[in-house]
Amino acid sequence: MIRLTQTLTACNSPVLASVLKRELERLDAQSLPLQQGLQRGSHVGEEGFTAMVIGVTRDSARIRAKVGVFYTGIIAGCSCADDPTPIEGHVEYCEIQVDIDRSTAEATFTLLPG
């Protein structure tokens, strides 16, 4: 279970978006639904990702954020010695919804239709 405790602490602060961005970017890319968001590649690259907080709403139960994520996708070949397929990364983008429980700081991630 992923907990975004710093974001929860900053819930009523003007720096909420920057704290959320920083906490998300510290996560392993496998924690987010990036594989499902691929448009051109077949695998998520290992270069990491950049998050962009688009909007945040709050209620008594949760913090909900819409986040754009830029990351690298690759088209992987068969990894044979004579495979001519280059493994080049290209920019992928998807939007996710981040829901943070205000009592536990537990976060869930949902890929948004794009």
Question: Tokens 């996560």 belong to which residue?
Answer: 27
Print the domain residue range for 12.
Answer: 2-111
Which residues make beta-bridge pairs with 43?
Answer: 74
Q: Is 35 helix (H, G, I), strand (E, B) or coil?
A: helix
Rounded Cα distance, 21 and 69, in Å: 10
The residue ranges of the chain whose pLDDT is under 70 are: 77-87
pLDDT at 4: 98
What pLDDT sits at residue 47?
87
Q: In Å, how far are 41, 81, 93, 94 from 75, measured between CA atoms?
A: 5, 16, 15, 17
User: Mind spelling out the 3-state secondary structure of 81-110?
Assistant: CCCCCCCCEEEEEEEEEEEEECCCCEEEEE
CB 29 within 8 A of CB 41: no
CATH of residue 51:
3.10.450
Q: Do the beta carbons of residue 39 and residue 9 sit within 8 Å?
A: no
43 CB contacts (<8 Å, ≥6 apart)? 35, 73, 74, 75, 76
Model pLDDT, residue 51? 98
User: What pLDDT was estimated at residue 93?
Assistant: 98
Q: Mean of the per-residue pLDDT values for the chain?
A: 92
Domain count, the chain: 1
**For residue 26, which amino acid is it?**
R
